[in-house]
């Protein structure tokens, strides 16, 4: 917003340098971005400053608005024009209704529409002073009528438009929606086709303006114009913004309407323009202004506590100074008793963003100057914030995975509808329903995810395409679904891990060896051990996993996690042709299974005694079931059971597999002898044979 300082002085005086004024405006929230002299020709120059007006201060997009701010800050008198009484005296006897009809069919998008008719207008060049005013702020003079509408817009911040009344079909103005593909040629020559969402100003045949944005070439004022219909209106800011963006038209008018104009000043700015047209173009103003204003807006009233203003600002400005600032901005203080603690402040229409007490306090801070607010250290007490169990689990799991060499990924909470269905049974019931988005940002992000795995797999495929063939990722986030016969959606906090491709070079893995089921199972066991959770492992019945290389972990009746190899066909469909190892943890179920308090166990005083046992057992028997039975039969001396070898081959009987366990025996009272360990070992062998049909394997 460019402001001419000489022009400002018509409404408020100040006795300070330009530099001091610029500093004052900047400290009050109107940042001065530039100030420079402008050459008007003929040896004339004028000082112009450019202000950065934030969107909530649309009232400062005018010289009167900026002058009001200066008056409020300095306390100097503010004397804007008062054209309304003079307009009443300037009306001629002919009624405007005989020359023009106005219909507002969209009061929701145009809450106020006014029009004046001026006859016997002589269009020509503007006088020198008016041209200089416009040139100083970067506008090009056109003719006296158009220049006056631009001058008043920059004076009041109220856009106006002048139509050649003789070019309007049936001398009628309609505020309406456009029809489908309705043609329009703007003043700048842009040819458009409107959709029905566009608000237009039209005559009985065609659009003559895109409301609040730009007029049409078919009704513009030219040197042949003798009768003018002068429009002044208030349009919905959102609709103006949408139309301006959609149709690619930007103007000084749309810039102001988007930020909101003073609905009460619509007629004042129109009166000012009409009087100037009469003065500079010799027009006659027909009486009886058209003013369609079906729902007048009530002025808001806000209670302001002086003590609260002092508390927020950390100052002691005093009641009189605070009220003086507010009155200087044009706000009306209803109760003016200085002994009162609370004041009722009436907000004028040109300040629609003032809605709460804190807004008024901000105005006081602005006018007093942000640089005058004392700097104080905040005083308060800090209360410790304890993480929730689920948050603690995620934090610890994230740290452990980073130590294991995995990288964290962050994906959208949306995925393709196909992936949401294919991975629905991750932790949702089979009859649950994925949640589709009403307005997705793209077709491949149309549904809320039901598992974290698709995002990780897609990230791995992207890495493979870019040459990174070894990918290890994890992610923490929510999954979403709607249970059967319910309306409310369910969100579950999850933690997922994925590994694919060859291992990075190291001493523990052969060069080129790819990640396999046991790698991901080891990661899961590491996480569960870290939380002190004992789980029972059962086959995982999920369609997206390899049935022979997958397992589900239960703590009691709650499933806390699953892991395995992704089904090869599904992995290939998602862009990966190598084994994909995955695991996913139900964080809330895991949090419920984590011991409330960890118990301290002193280091044993006596050493362990070790035995190995190799057994032949039927292939369907799960190793976890065997481990549980060994622990049960080996009590109370058996301290650890570890499976370290599994073998299946031609050398074994058909349908059998060989499992080798390392057993550790220990007593808290003494060092065990073979004579004490052997009976326990034999009871283990006997239990395995009787309950699982297992036999010792011959060496």
Is 670 in a helix, a strand, or coil? coil
Indicate the helix (H) or strand (E) that contains 327: helix 319-328
Q: Tokens 């090009």 belong to which residue? A: 140
CA geometry: angle 477, 478, 480, nearest 5 deg: 155
How far is it, in rounded angstroms, from Cα 201 to Cα 317? 50
Closest by Cα among 678, 554, 546 to 628: 554
Could you tell me if 361 and 317 are in contact, meaning their C-beta atoms sit under 8 angstroms apart?
no
Could you tell me if 363 and 318 are in contact, meaning their C-beta atoms sit under 8 angstroms apart?
no
Residue set of the binding site: 359, 362-363
Is 148 in a helix, a strand, or coil? helix
Is 677 in a helix, a strand, or coil? helix
Could you tell me if 154 and 62 are in contact, meaning their C-beta atoms sit under 8 angstroms apart?
yes
**Radius of gyration over alpha carbons of the chain, in Å?**
40
Is 683 in a helix, a strand, or coil? helix
φ, ψ at 502 (rounded to 5°): -75, 155
Buried b (16+ CB within 10 A) or exposed e, 199-212: bbbbbeebbbbbbb
The tokens for 314 are 């950390």
Is 55 in a helix, a strand, or coil? helix
Closest by Cα among 570, 546, 550 to 422: 570
Burial class (CB in 10 A: 0-12, 13-18, 19+), 231: buried
The DSSP-derived string for 359-395 is: HHHHHHHHHH-GGGSPP------PPP-PPPHHHHHHH
φ, ψ at 467 (rounded to 5°): 100, -5
* Helices marked H in 540-596: 568-573, 587-593
Mode of pairing for the β-strands spanning 545-555 and 536-538:
antiparallel
Indicate the helix (H) or strand (E) that contains 658: strand 656-665
How far is it, in rounded angstroms, from Cα 75 to Cα 516? 79
CA geometry: angle 48, 31, 71, nearest 5 deg: 75
Could you tell me if 419 and 454 are in contact, meaning their C-beta atoms sit under 8 angstroms apart?
yes
How far is it, in rounded angstroms, from Cα 232 to Cα 249? 20
Question: Please, what is the end-to-end C-alpha distance for the chain in angstroms?
Answer: 93
φ, ψ at 548 (rounded to 5°): -85, -10
- DSSP class of residue 294 equals S
The tokens for 97 are 């209704």
Handedness of CA 108, 58, 330, 2 (dihedral sign): negative
**Residue 96's CB: how many other CB atoms inside 10 A?**
22
Residue set of the binding site for Mg(2+): 359, 362-363
């Amino acid at each position: 917003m460019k402001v001419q300082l000489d022009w400002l002085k018509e409404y408020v005086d100040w006795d300070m340098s330009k530099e001091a004024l610029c500093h004052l405006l900047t400290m009050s929230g109107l940042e001065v971005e530039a100030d420079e002299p402008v050459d008007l020709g003929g040896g004339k120059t004028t000082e112009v400053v450019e202000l950065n007006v934030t969107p909530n201060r649309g009232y400062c997009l005018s010289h009167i608005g900026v002058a009001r701010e200066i008056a409020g800050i300095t306390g100097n008198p503010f004397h804007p024009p008062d054209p309304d009484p003079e307009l009443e005296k300037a009306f001629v006897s002919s009624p405007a209704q005989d020359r023009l009809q106005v219909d507002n069919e969209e009061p929701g998008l145009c809450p106020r529409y006014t029009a004046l008719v001026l006859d016997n207008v002589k269009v020509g060049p503007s006088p020198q002073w008016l041209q200089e005013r416009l040139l100083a702020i970067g506008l090009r003079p056109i003719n006296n009528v158009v220049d006056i509408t631009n001058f008043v817009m920059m004076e009041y911040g109220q856009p106006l438009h002048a139509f050649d009344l003789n070019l309007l079909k049936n001398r009628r103005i309609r505020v309406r929606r456009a029809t489908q593909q309705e043609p329009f040629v703007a003043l700048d020559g842009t040819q458009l086709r409107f959709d029905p969402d566009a608000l237009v100003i039209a005559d009985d045949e065609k659009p003559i303006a895109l409301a609040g944005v730009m007029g049409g070439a078919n009704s513009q004022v030219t040197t042949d114009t003798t009768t003018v219909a002068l429009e002044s209106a208030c349009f919905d800011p959102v609709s103006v913004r949408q139309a301006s963006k959609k149709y690619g038209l930007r103007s000084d008018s749309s810039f102001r309407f988007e930020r909101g104009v003073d609905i009460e000043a619509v007629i004042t700015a129109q009166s000012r323009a009409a009087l100037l047209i009469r003065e500079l173009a010799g027009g006659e103003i027909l009486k009886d202004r058209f003013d369609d204003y079906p729902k007048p807006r009530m002025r808001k009233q806000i209670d302001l506590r002086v003590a609260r203003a002092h508390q927020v600002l950390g100052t002691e400005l005093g009641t009189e100074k605070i009220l003086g600032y507010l009155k200087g901005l044009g706000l009306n203080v209803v109760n003016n008793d200085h002994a009162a603690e609370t004041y009722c402040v009436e907000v004028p229409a040109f300040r629609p963003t003032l809605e709460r007490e804190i807004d008024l306090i901000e105005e006081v801070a602005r006018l007093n100057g942000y640089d005058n607010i004392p700097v104080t250290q905040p005083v308060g007490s800090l209360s410790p914030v304890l993480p929730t169990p689920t948050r603690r689990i995620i934090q610890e799991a994230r740290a452990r995975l980073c130590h294991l060499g995995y990288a964290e990924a962050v994906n959208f909470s949306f995925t393709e509808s196909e992936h949401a269905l294919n991975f629905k049974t991750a932790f949702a019931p089979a009859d649950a329903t994925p949640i589709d988005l009403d307005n997705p940002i793209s077709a491949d992000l149309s549904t809320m995810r039901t598992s974290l795995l698709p995002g990780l797999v897609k990230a791995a495929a992207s890495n493979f395409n870019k040459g990174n063939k070894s990918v290890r990722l994890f992610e923490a986030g929510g999954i979403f679904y709607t249970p059967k016969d319910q309306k409310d959606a369910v969100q579950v906090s999850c933690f997922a891990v994925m590994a694919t491709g060859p291992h990075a070079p190291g001493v523990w893995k052969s060069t080129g060896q790819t990640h396999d089921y046991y790698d991901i199972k080891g990661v899961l066991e590491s996480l569960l051990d870290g939380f002190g959770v004992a789980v029972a492992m059962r086959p995982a019945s999920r369609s997206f996993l390899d049935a022979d290389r997958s397992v589900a972990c239960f703590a009691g009746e709650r499933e806390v996690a699953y892991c395995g190899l992704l089904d090869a066909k599904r992995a290939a469909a998602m862009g990966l042709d190598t084994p994909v190892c995955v695991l996913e943890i139900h964080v809330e179920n895991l949090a419920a299974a984590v011991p409330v308090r960890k118990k301290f166990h002193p280091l044993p005083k006596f050493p362990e005694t070790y035995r190995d046992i190799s057994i032949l057992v039927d292939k369907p028997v799960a190793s976890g079931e065997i481990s549980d039975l060994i622990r049960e039969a080996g009590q109370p001396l058996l301290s650890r059971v570890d499976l370290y070898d599994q073998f299946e081959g031609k050398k074994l009987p058909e349908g059998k597999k060989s499992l080798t366990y390392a057993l550790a025996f220990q007593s808290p009272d003494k060092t065990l002898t073979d004579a004490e360990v052997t009976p326990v070992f034999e009871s283990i062998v006997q239990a395995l044979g009787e309950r699982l049909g297992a036999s010792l394997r011959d060496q």
